[in-house]
Structure 1
Amino acid sequence: MGAMSTQPHASPEPDDREAARPIDERPTRIRVDLERIAGNLRAIRAHVGVPVMGIVKANAYGHGLVPVARHLQAAGVDQLGVAFVEEGIALRRAGIRAPILVLGGIFGHQIGRFISHDLEITVSSLDKLRQVEAAAEAMGRRAVVHLKIDTGMERIGVHSYSAGPFIEAAVASPWCEVKGVYSHLACADDPASPATAAQVARFAEACEHFTRIGAPMPLRHLANSGGVLHFPDTWLDMVRPGILLYGVLPDPASRPTVAVQPAMSLVSQVVYFKVVKAGHAVSYGGTWTATRDTRVVTVPIGYGDGYPRALSSRGEVLVRGRRHPIVGRICMDQFMVDIGDGSAWNEDEVVLVGTQEGEAIPVEAVALQAGTVPYEILVGLNERIPRDYLGGASLAPVAA
């Protein structure tokens, strides 16, 4: 049934039809609905009633850094957030003019690049503040900074209980414009966790120092996706949704208090069909054996694309609107699917994440099957998989 032809090409030289084909024909694709992302931005903004910093770090959670940032900018996002200076520079080179905060820690030799590309800097200690001041003075340009307060994450930032001298020094700096002050919530994905209330209290206490010294209060931002979903007292002056912006809940404990829609589908096609005889094993290590004559199809995507090997003999895909199990170990570039007594032909669509004929496999379910979190599934899908964009303007690749 639908067996793949093994006939060789008549000639190794490409003909006119070959030359006219798009360079990238790979049947495995990521489809990104940009209008859904814009719709999610609108839903989040309506829910919280304050400005939104759209987080586009890690290739926009696998959705594509530049295309997503362009669309968010067109949709009126208030600010963008990235993890590293390189991500911010890539956005500036792509023509993104929205304010961009780099959320990660900084190294002294990088600071000039922040300033020259008009990127806002996370300052997480008094020593880092002095380094920013020195670089800004040397360039003759003020740096725009956000002060990072550690309220319980223990990652980067000045501890809330010792933030006073840090805040005073930043406010007094002639070379730093203190635009924001923020912290990060460690447990907000779980609405039952008491940790968030403690972090809110610590952050409020640190921010009171601006009032005590008579300084204007900068933008206070605290809420990540979990905060947006569950904790209104974290919304403050701006929120920083990441995974929620892409229509995905951050944790099985999270409540869907905002009506968002998933923006990503991961699809491929059947590349081969066979009947595996009863007693025959499938894939590396022979970890799965057919108990009866079984129809098995091969799908051309694997852990080399970031599809988790942990889904071996655990994951499911959709073929012709029906769920079918992955069997045997997932290979670097391919895996096999037991379609039982079902039918499938070469080039039939296979849905790994998304919907087909009324059935759905959400990324949250894939993460549970793989024993991980949705974040890791999304950001793990690498650049070997082409991305197609729906709902936005044509987006050509941007040179570095």
Structure 2
Amino acid sequence: MSDPLIERPSRIVVDLDAIAGNLQAIRARVQRPVMAIVKANAYGHGLVPVARQLQAHGVERLGVAFVEEGIALRRAGITLPILVLGGIYAPQVGQYLRHDLEITVSSLDKLRQVEAAAEALGRRARIHLKIDTGMERIGVHSYSCGPFIEAALASPWCEIVGIYSHLACADDPAAGMTALQLERFAEACAHFPRLGAPMPLRHLANSGGVLHFPQTWLDLVRPGLILYGVSPDPAARMDPALRPALSLRSRVVYFKVVRAGRSVSYGATWTAPTDTRVITVPLGYGDGYPRALSNRGQVLVRGVRRPVVGRICMDQFMVDLGPDGTAYNEDEVVLIGRQGTQAITVEELAAQAGTIPYEILTGLNERIPRSYLGAG
């Protein structure tokens, strides 16, 4: 019996070799170790296949958001150091230790929680100290972090692997905030030599930092979106060596002629101005294709850009081919990616939907089957 997920006409195709090439391009640029960020299902590309590819190509470390992601990687055989970047939920601390995951410690109280769990299990915890230099999300403020660092250094149950912060505005090369955050972070790191302690790994640069601010590269960089070949912001200066790894494709499942004056989809928000040809594509906002692209988005059919018309439904949407356009049932429809000489990018969809590329990629959910090109 055939597998209906394999047979589904909609699919995501991920080029793992493109991700490996992007890793090498980032390394060549920064000449530093890389912590590849694979949170949120590797930005929609597939957590385990991407992590296996990165491990095979020698990436030094991985970063995830939640302990559950780290556990999934360990169960899949990933042996690299893995830092969980998110805030600690006390009942889960033991799971970090059992699965050899590095822990973000973001306050003195969190440090005590980690110490208690480590002592109970008889295992030293490997930790990274989180300093808040301007995000006001998690982390000890840079101006008051001295006692926090002293307590961490004195802990018999914690090994300080790293110290880090997160850049708020690095996607924009003109943002002045980055220099201020770098200054605050340097002040926090200065506590280590003052206390006669060795400096742990300092890491600050996200994708924007890698692209625009060499002074933030320090001992380690943490690329996320650019690892997948996508620009983090319209203002970003993207490295031409980076190429997109993901495409989203479907097939025509219905073709009809819509007469002039007839409306399409919920709310009748689009009405055919003349007799026209309309196809139905079996993918919708239930898969993560944004409803905000209704009457705005475009797809590629037979190498030609065609507009999405009417409201995008949960499981399908319609495309206008015009009075003379041609398509047949089972013809390929490209939502993200290249067809012929044309291409539709994640960045383009984000602009049309009034959002950011991160949300487009991470919104593509597990209802869409994924297939992989290249090693992994």
Question: TM above 0.5, one fold?
Answer: yes
Q: Give, as a single letter, the amino acid of the residue that structure 2 aligns with 1:333.
A: D
Distance 1:99 1:224 in 2: 18
- What's 2:345 paired with? 362
Q: Does 1:378 align with 2:355?
A: no
- What's 2:11 paired with? 29
- What's 2:335 paired with? 352
Q: Does 1:265 align with 2:219?
A: no
Q: Does 1:67 align with 2:45?
A: no
- What's 1:214 paired with? 196
- What's 1:80 paired with? 62
Distance 1:159 1:221 in 2: 16
- What's 1:159 paired with? 141
Q: Name the SS for the 1:106 alignment partner.
A: coil
- What's 2:172 paired with? 190
Contact 2:295 2:310 in 1 (8 A): yes
Q: Give, as a single letter, the amino acid of the residue that structure 2 aligns with 1:112.
A: G
CA gap of 1:188–1:23, structure 2 versus 1, over 3 A, is closer
Deviation at 1:24, TM superposition (A): 2.4
Q: Name the SS for the 1:178 alignment partner.
A: strand
Q: Name the SS for the 1:260 alignment partner.
A: coil
CA gap of 1:20–1:108, structure 2 versus 1, over 3 A, is closer
Q: Name the SS for the 2:6 alignment partner.
A: coil
Distance 2:291 2:2 in 1: 36
Match of 2:93 among 111, 124, 129: 111
Larger deviation: 299-308 or 384-393? Answer: 384-393
Q: Name the SS for the 1:32 alignment partner.
A: strand
Q: Does 1:203 align with 2:175?
A: no
Q: Name the SS for the 2:232 alignment partner.
A: coil
- What's 1:333 paired with? 315
Q: Give, as a single letter, the amino acid of the residue that structure 1 aligns with 2:190.
A: E
Q: Name the SS for the 1:36 alignment partner.
A: helix
Deviations 1:157-213 (Å, cap 9, x if unpaired)? 000000111111111111000000000000000000100000000000100000100
- What's 2:40 paired with? 58
Deviation at 1:259, TM superposition (A): 1.7
Q: Does 1:230 align with 2:212?
A: yes
Q: Name the SS for the 1:127 alignment partner.
A: helix
- What's 2:155 paired with? 173
Contact 2:36 2:63 in 1 (8 A): yes
Please give the root-mean-square deviation of Cα atoms over the aligned residues, in Å. 0.9
Give the fraction of aligned pairs with identical amino acids, expressed as a percent: 76
Contact 1:44 1:258 in 2 (8 A): no
TM-score (norm. length: structure 2): 0.99
Deviation at 1:392, TM superposition (A): 1.9
Deviation at 1:257, TM superposition (A): 3.3
Q: Give, as a single letter, the amino acid of the residue that structure 2 aligns with 1:358.
A: T
- What's 1:286 paired with? 268
For structure 2, the 5+ residue unaligned runs are none
Contact 1:364 1:373 in 2 (8 A): yes
The alignment covers a number of residue pairs equal to 375
Deviation at 1:23, TM superposition (A): 5.3
CA gap of 1:267–1:198, structure 2 versus 1, over 3 A, is same
Deviations 1:40-80 (Å, cap 9, x if unpaired)? 00000110000000000000000000110011100111000
Q: Give, as a single letter, the amino acid of the residue that structure 2 aligns with 1:286.
A: A
Q: Name the SS for the 2:333 alignment partner.
A: strand
Q: Name the SS for the 1:292 alignment partner.
A: coil
Contact 1:272 1:346 in 2 (8 A): yes
Q: Name the SS for the 1:346 alignment partner.
A: coil
Q: Give, as a single letter, the amino acid of the residue that structure 2 aligns with 1:357.
A: G
Match of 1:143 among 125, 130, 141: 125
CA gap of 1:339–1:246, structure 2 versus 1, over 3 A, is same
Distance 1:385 1:20 in 2: 17
For structure 1, the 5+ residue unaligned runs are 1-18, 394-400
Q: Name the SS for the 1:310 alignment partner.
A: helix
CA gap of 1:20–1:202, structure 2 versus 1, over 3 A, is closer
TM-score (norm. length: structure 1): 0.93
Q: Give, as a single letter, the amino acid of the residue that structure 2 aligns with 1:102.
A: V
CA gap of 1:23–1:258, structure 2 versus 1, over 3 A, is closer
Match runs of 1:37-48 below 5 Å: 37-48=19-30
Deviations 1:136-155 (Å, cap 9, x if unpaired)? 01111100000000000000
Consecutive aligned runs of 4 or more in structure 1 exceeding 3 Å deviation: 20-23
Contact 2:163 2:201 in 1 (8 A): yes
Q: Does 1:98 align with 2:80?
A: yes
Contact 1:300 1:333 in 2 (8 A): yes
